[in-house]
A = this chain, B = another copy of it.
Amino acid sequence: MKKLINDPKNVVIEAVAGFEAAHGDIVRVSHDPIFIARSDAPVHGKVGIVSGGGSGHEPLHGGFVGYGMLDAAVPGAVFTSPTPDPILAATQVVDGGAGVLHLVKNYTGDVLNFETAADLASAEGIEVRAVIINDDVAVKDSLYTAGRRGVAGTVLVEKITGAAAERGDDLAAVVAVAEKVNSRVRTMGVALTPCVVPHAGEPSFVLADDEIEIGIGIHGEPGRERIKLEPADAIVDRLLAPILDDLPFVAGDAVLLFVNGMGGTPQVELYIVFRRAAEVLAEKGITVTRSLVGNYTTSLEMAGTSISVLKLDEELTSLWDAPVQTAALRWGR
């Protein structure tokens, strides 16, 4: 394992310190407990939006703190959800009097820790609501399981929900937007190589030189099936089919197509994936009206990609286009 780190125990602390040094114009950082907040938090009268989760998925979530997106992000240890303390502290700091929304990826640890923090915040008189993000079609959904995972679609939920809060929606309305985005976005990923968690020092799983993992999770959790490497176009077809069937997406839909890099995949490959995905959608009469390509929800240095498709309407499109100013996503200002 070769990594540009010092003591593995200090990875998150030092990375957050670097983030603060680089982006002091956009964020301020609390070091104990650790969280990243908008430099102008709390914004009076605005619903505060807090997200968070294990580290190792950067720029998710810290890279999305700022005007028009998140008010705070709470990074846990690598691939481990944060504890309630920093979530509570972040919730207090961003509360501008209009309540706080927790955007939580659907993992037992994240759900439980955010739940505890929300209980504590409520006890202090802060109105807190949570929306659970579960866009991953690789996992069968069922009342009897932990349900689907929250993966790259989270970025879209955070951007669009953040825009709704920024325009002044009240807490119920912001919750409704978040639920709407989550209900209309579907994602599926593939891994070509595993990642190595710093403190573990060993790959999270092992793939042969000619194997790929279809339906991989963002923590290196095994996916749907392990198959032999195929041409990019064939892989894209495998990822896209269950996504399109699931909602389902149909001819006439306008969509945002998001090709996400898992961290170790070169940009040329992401664009090759985008090309094929756009082609398939066009064949089905689905129009790509917005797009996003890049490393936005990563799994450390894992090579691979995920494809997310979000069904747009006028409201979601204009919220997507609204100005945003964060370290990792910025336009309009």
Contact = CB atoms under 8 A, between A and B. Distances in A.
Interface stretch (A88-96, A104-112, A267-275): A267-275
A192 B2 contact: yes
Contacts of A19: 271, 274
B22 A271 contact: yes
Number of identical monomers bound together in the oligomeric complex:
2
A174 interface: no
A229 to B, nearest CB: 6
A126 interface: no
Contacts of A192: 2-4
What is the interface of chain A mostly: helix, strand, loop, or mixed? mixed
A58 B2 contact: no
B4 A272 contact: yes
A268 B195 CA distance: 13
A271 B2 contact: no
A271 B232 contact: no
Interface stretch (A9-17, A143-151, A163-171, A247-255): A9-17
Nearest to A257: B22
Interface in A233-291: 233, 235, 257, 259, 263-276, 278, 288, 291
A21 interface: yes
A6 B231 contact: yes
A209 interface: yes
Contacts of A298: 266-267
A297 B35 CA distance: 30
B5 A288 contact: no
Contacts of A331: 325, 330-331, 333
B58 A18 contact: no
A contact residues, range: 35 or more
A282 to B, nearest CB: 9
A59 B270 CA distance: 11
A79 to B, nearest CB: 11
B193 A269 contact: no
A266 B301 contact: yes
B212 A2 contact: yes
A77 to B, nearest CB: 11
A55 B269 CA distance: 12
B6 A274 contact: no
A154 B301 CA distance: 25
Contact of A15 (B229, B233, B268): B268
A332 interface: yes
9 contacts: A2-B192, A2-B193, A4-B272, A18-B271, A18-B275, A22-B293, A23-B291, A55-B268, A263-B267
